[in-house]
Structure 1
Amino acid sequence: MSDLDLAVIGNCAFAALLDRSARIVWSCLPRFDGDPVFCALLDNHHGAERGFWDVELQDFSHAEQRYRRNSAVVETVLYDRSGNAVEIIDFAPRFKQFDRTFRPPVFVRRIRPFAGAPRVRFRLRPACGYGSGTPEVTRGSNHIRFVMPAMTLRLTTDAPPTYILEETAHVLEQPVTMVLGPDESLTEPVAEIGRRFFEKTDAYWREWTRFLALPFEWQDAVIRAAITLKLCSFEETGAVIAALTTSIPEAPHSGRNWDYRFCWLRDSFFVVHALNRLGATRTMESYLSYITNIVVESGGGPLQPVFGIALETRLDEREEPGLAGYRGMGPVRVGNDAYTQVQNDGYGAVVLATAQSFFDRRLSRPGDEAFFQRLERLGQKAVELWNVPDAGMWELRTRQQVHTFSAVMCWAACDRLARIAERLGLDSRVAYWRHYAGEIREETLRRAWNSEMGSFVACFEGQEIDASLLLLPELGFLPADDPRFLGTLACAERYLRSGDHVFRYAAPDDFGEPETAFNVCTFWYIDALAAVGRTEEARELFERMLAARNHLGLLSEDLDPDSGELWGNFPQTYSMVGLINSALRLSRPWEEAF
């Protein structure tokens, strides 16, 4: 049975998911939103007989799996019942070459006998057409080609191609290297390429983590989260995707199956903000380039909430019948109609994501007056739309209301524009944006407050609460010790918390009542506890959230508060962001350690 005990490999051009036994069960090529060449995670009508790549150990007993220290390289050891074992090293090459980053759409697998005389068979069964097709296979002396409508893959290896094509079980007597990528000949022996790519890739990630501004505590968890966020960035354009997968349901048989392989402006702000706090500024600089294109293209018009990773504006949603879905829980959706929604928080998300560029002297391309003027167009839309009904951050599909979070984010757009204008010495613009920030804030405080509940509410003049209200101090909208926020926190505890976990909201939506907690909301709650002085309680809950991660320290979008099982698309950048932010807030300072 499929589960989300998965590892991620990638290189900021593409990525893949491996299960505990190093079976590659998901990977889209040539980029994150492409056709899944490996799609067994979402099953198919053939019992997942294709769409995967594994090393099957005969008489298998158990597996051990880990990431190499401070790296995106995965090591898996498979053991049989007699003590024989095989080691599998998986990675996607990424390193500096010719003064630029080398990140080809290539899988590398290095396989060696680890103990005794393991008997294995190699099974490489790519698919195409979202599980509906099988590639045409041809072979050469040392390679196998998989011809598909959109691309051709070539496996180059020093293993006998016949053993791979016929899936012959055999004793693994010496190391084997497998390189799967574009249909191009290698220019040096495959074993040498595997060794060199491994050493350079492993060194790249260790060097990258050396420059992270880590908290004193929970460093391994933060490093793993940071690397995972980096792997979810599409470096070619600067886009940051919400997750690597599509259609893993938020809860069993819920129909809440969505494609998250796109760039949500809101999610990307949170990712960039978290990496900035760790000192990983290059991702922000790349994202600034992506956002600049969006801002220029919008021309002051409405801003859609989600874009394709190459700035695509149409993400029409469809269902793919060739895949039965995660554990057979379809449908499998490709595309996301959320791009057509009105979500007015996006204006604030863009301004917040780019504001640091005007203040951070480390950046090679700091924000300037010309870029500020482009951002002002978004600020003007925020002024126009802050009290207009929208789908909200939770993307409700059948109703619109004036959402408090959207109004607060529109306030944040105006507030940050005033601060940027002050930085640039534009006094008249400071006054302009402060005026509108004050106006929006005053009306939001009045209309989003429910005196009978003693809490802010999710929608103006409403009676329901949602977890986005926990972000009010984080966004600077009001201090954490404000009695109104303390009342809101108490209300969230009463209506949204279930055990150690927090739901987005409790009210029924388009699909009924939510069944699973939303992991980032639990981290928001942890941060709120810390902000109001309940630090020890926050630390204890944070430790329990760390224990809720999978075996390699990763989180999906959702979690069943009763069973602890992970649900929803994976790995969810929101969730990993929440982990980083909470660790930075809660960790003891370095000074106390010495």
Structure 2
Amino acid sequence: MPAPIEDYALLSDCRTGALVSRDGSIDWLCLPRFDSSSVFGALLGDPGHGCWTLRPSDAGATSTRFYLSDTFILVTRWETAEGVAEVHEFMPIQPTRTEVIRRIVGVSGSVEFDTELRLHFDYSRRLPWVRQVGTPDHPALHATAGPESVIVRGVRFHAEDHRHRATVTVGADEIRDLTLSWFLSYEHAPKPLDVEEAIAGTRAWWQGWASGIRHDGPHRDAVVRSLLVLRALTNKDTGGIVAAATTSLPEDFGGSRNWDYRFVWLRDAALTLEALIAHGFLAEAHQWRRWLLRAVAGEPREVQIMYGIAGERDLLERELTSLPGYDGSAPVRIGNGAVDQYQGDVIGEVLVALEAARIAGLEEGDFSWPLQRALVEQVIVSIDRPDNGIWEIRGEPQWFTHSRVMMWAALDRGVRAVREHGLAGDAERWEGVRDRLRREIDDRGVDAEGGHFVQHYGSGDVDASLLLLPQVGYCAADDPRMLRTVAEIESRLLVNGFVRRYRTESGVDGLGGGEHPFIACSFWLVEQYAASGRTGDAQTLMAGVMAMANDLGLLSEEYDVGHQRQAGNTPQALSHLSLIRAADALAGHRGRAAHRD
């Protein structure tokens, strides 16, 4: 079986990412983009589905690892009976090339490394044609499958039953570089990379970006790493922000709640945008707004909840039989059927984020405000329509309270844009619809007996998304209805002190099985506690949720508290941006609601 999810490190070139296990195996790599097909797919199967291992031959070797300060250059320090060596691995930040670099650095004594390469293209559906190229002094392995090729340089491999093996020995101060380069099979292989220059350039790029981070509150290291994760998941060419680097890591081990998260959800991207703006990155807001204009181009009624990294619309969901799933959790899915859902909250998320950009100083362009104005009108057109909600339920659409509140927020931001920023729009009509919607929510979205907000109209259940209501200014954090809602969440949704999204046993999502506490939801509760004066509870919960991160500060989607392991796709943008907002709340920042006064 693959390593535990929390054992994986991320390498990123801001186009795609590799997952490297603590044991030195790259078990997941899609080239050249996050949403491309995999070359290494062992994460969703076993080594026979593709991987690249690099570790000392000594079975007793021990390791420690860390990211070089404020970068995604991973350093793994190996200690053996014969010596000490480090592996420095990264994906260079380059204009066009896509590569993985694995540099072995001798520290003391002598260390022999074994490396094994198993190339299985197209989600393990294609074995490549492999041949030795290069020279005895500069060996290389060239592999081709259909339109794709890779060339691996730095060591001479020996073939054995669809795997290629080699050994490398380094002494003190010796360096050996292993490189994998992706290219189109009908083009010439790229020339060897200057690794020294690539390391220096990549280090400077990441650290230069991180130097712009503004954060004056607690948990600075975790906030900086989380902002770096958000940047790593943002395509440097298109501005698209993927929800996670992986597909089909299970929310329910052995179950079927396995989804492809390698796409741009408008909701998650908008929330990410807000986190970046709050910490000094207005240029990223401009790039993402341009991405939005391209992706949404056309009729507002055709707006999707998610898109491909460059704004593609066709994300057809299908199941693969070539990969058996993480630890047997099937099916493995590519594409995502939720693309066809109506989720009423999404436009509100977008307009709240774009208001934050506007307040931060991003000027409206010729098309940006007309698009937002059209989105407000689309909310009005859809106002009598139930939806699938923030959690993308696959059961019957409902009148989800959170969705209705975000529709209210969309109208509210439209009104404020006209009244406070002088933009053109029918503010009086929008205000009337907004206020009628508030009356509806106050009437139907609150439990008549308990006085708490409900998951959806006609239900007495609660939902973790209700914690977001104060964050968009719908009500105060200490509103009696919110305090009763928090009490209900504490009573019904906590597992060992951490928050589930909702009661899966209610059947509202139309799926079998269950799931674990959702990491972002626990951070939302931290934010609520902090905003309502429960500072001690906020600090205690914050410490507990942050302990779910791995040794590199990475968080997946969910956490199995019973077995103390991460679950779901990783690293998860929503988990990291929620960490950032929770840390900000502990510092007294009000975030999205700050401009409602």
Q: 1:10 to 1:166 in 2, by over 3 A?
A: closer
Q: 1:401 to 1:123 in 2, by over 3 A?
A: same
SS for the counterpart of 2:394 is coil
CA deviation after TM superposition for structure 1 residue 22, in Å: 2.6
**Structure 2 unmatched runs, 5+:** 590-597
SS for the counterpart of 1:55 is strand
Partner of 1:330: 330
**Once the two structures are superposed, what CA deviation does each residue of 1:183-239 show, in whole Å capped at 9, x if it has no partner?**
455556x5xx11111011112111211110113321111111111111111222211
Residue identity opposite 1:224 in structure 2: R
Partner of 2:22: 20
- Kept in 2: contact 1:386–1:406 (CA 8 A): no
Partner of 1:385: 382
Structure-1-length-normalised TM-score: 0.92
CA distance in 2, matches of 1:566, 1:558: 6
CA distance in 2, matches of 1:402, 1:211: 42
Does structure 1 residue 106 correspond to structure 2 residue 104?
no
Does structure 1 residue 125 correspond to structure 2 residue 126?
no
Residue identity opposite 1:53 in structure 2: W
Partner of 1:58: 57
Match of residue 475, structure 2, among 469, 473, 478:
478
**Once the two structures are superposed, what CA deviation does each residue of 1:144-186 show, in whole Å capped at 9, x if it has no partner?**
21111131111232x3455998523353343111221134555
SS for the counterpart of 1:485 is helix
Percent same amino acid among aligned pairs?
31
CA distance in 1, matches of 2:312, 2:191: 36
Q: 1:561 to 1:56 in 2, by over 3 A?
A: closer
SS for the counterpart of 1:440 is helix
Q: 1:403 to 1:87 in 2, by over 3 A?
A: same
Q: 1:408 to 1:501 in 2, by over 3 A?
A: same
**Once the two structures are superposed, what CA deviation does each residue of 1:399-432 show, in whole Å capped at 9, x if it has no partner?**
1111111111111111111111124424763333
Residue identity opposite 1:84 in structure 2: G
CA distance in 1, matches of 2:320, 2:344: 31
SS for the counterpart of 2:201 is helix
Partner of 2:557: 557
CA deviation after TM superposition for structure 1 residue 476, in Å: 0.6
Residue identity opposite 2:284 in structure 1: T
Does structure 1 residue 93 correspond to structure 2 residue 86?
no
Partner of 2:170: 172
After TM superposition, list the pairs within 5 Å mapping 1:40-59 onto structure 2: 40-43=42-45, 47-59=46-58
**Once the two structures are superposed, what CA deviation does each residue of 1:111-161 show, in whole Å capped at 9, x if it has no partner?**
12233211222212221121122211122223221111131111232x345
CA distance in 2, matches of 1:376, 1:200: 42
CA distance in 1, matches of 2:131, 2:572: 37
Partner of 1:520: 520
Partner of 2:582: 582
Residue identity opposite 1:169 in structure 2: T
Aligned-residue CA RMSD in angstroms?
Answer: 2.0
- Kept in 2: contact 1:56–1:123 (CA 8 A): no
Partner of 2:315: 315
Q: 1:426 to 1:37 in 2, by over 3 A?
A: closer
CA deviation after TM superposition for structure 1 residue 568, in Å: 0.3
Partner of 2:288: 287
- Kept in 2: contact 1:504–1:517 (CA 8 A): yes
- Kept in 2: contact 1:499–1:561 (CA 8 A): yes
CA distance in 2, matches of 1:228, 1:248: 18
Partner of 2:151: 154
CA distance in 2, matches of 1:573, 1:324: 25
Q: 1:278 to 1:146 in 2, by over 3 A?
A: same
Residue identity opposite 1:16 in structure 2: A
Partner of 1:488: 485
What is the total number of aligned residue pairs between the two structures? 571
CA distance in 2, matches of 1:513, 1:256: 8
Q: 1:155 to 1:169 in 2, by over 3 A?
A: closer
SS for the counterpart of 1:418 is helix
Partner of 2:350: 350
Partner of 2:446: 449
**Once the two structures are superposed, what CA deviation does each residue of 1:40-95 show, in whole Å capped at 9, x if it has no partner?**
1111xxx4234111213112332111111111110012233x15233111111126
Once the two structures are overlaid, the 10-residue window that deviates more, 333-342 or 301-310, is 301-310
CA deviation after TM superposition for structure 1 residue 466, in Å: 0.5
SS for the counterpart of 1:168 is strand
Residue identity opposite 2:169 in structure 1: V
Q: 1:426 to 1:134 in 2, by over 3 A?
A: closer
Partner of 1:341: 341
Does structure 1 residue 432 correspond to structure 2 residue 437?
no
**Once the two structures are superposed, what CA deviation does each residue of 1:241-265 show, in whole Å capped at 9, x if it has no partner?**
1111011110111210111111111
CA distance in 1, matches of 2:465, 2:502: 9
Residue identity opposite 1:498 in structure 2: V
- Kept in 1: contact 2:156–2:166 (CA 8 A): no
SS for the counterpart of 2:450 is coil
**Structure 1 unmatched runs, 5+:** 96-101, 590-594
- Kept in 2: contact 1:93–1:103 (CA 8 A): no
SS for the counterpart of 1:89 is strand
Partner of 1:200: 201
Structure-2-length-normalised TM-score: 0.91
After TM superposition, list the pairs within 5 Å mapping 1:237-256 onto structure 2: 237-256=238-257
CA distance in 2, matches of 1:170, 1:287: 44
Deviation above 6 Å: which 4+ runs of structure 1?
none
Residue identity opposite 1:108 in structure 2: I
- Kept in 2: contact 1:302–1:381 (CA 8 A): no
CA distance in 1, matches of 2:473, 2:339: 28
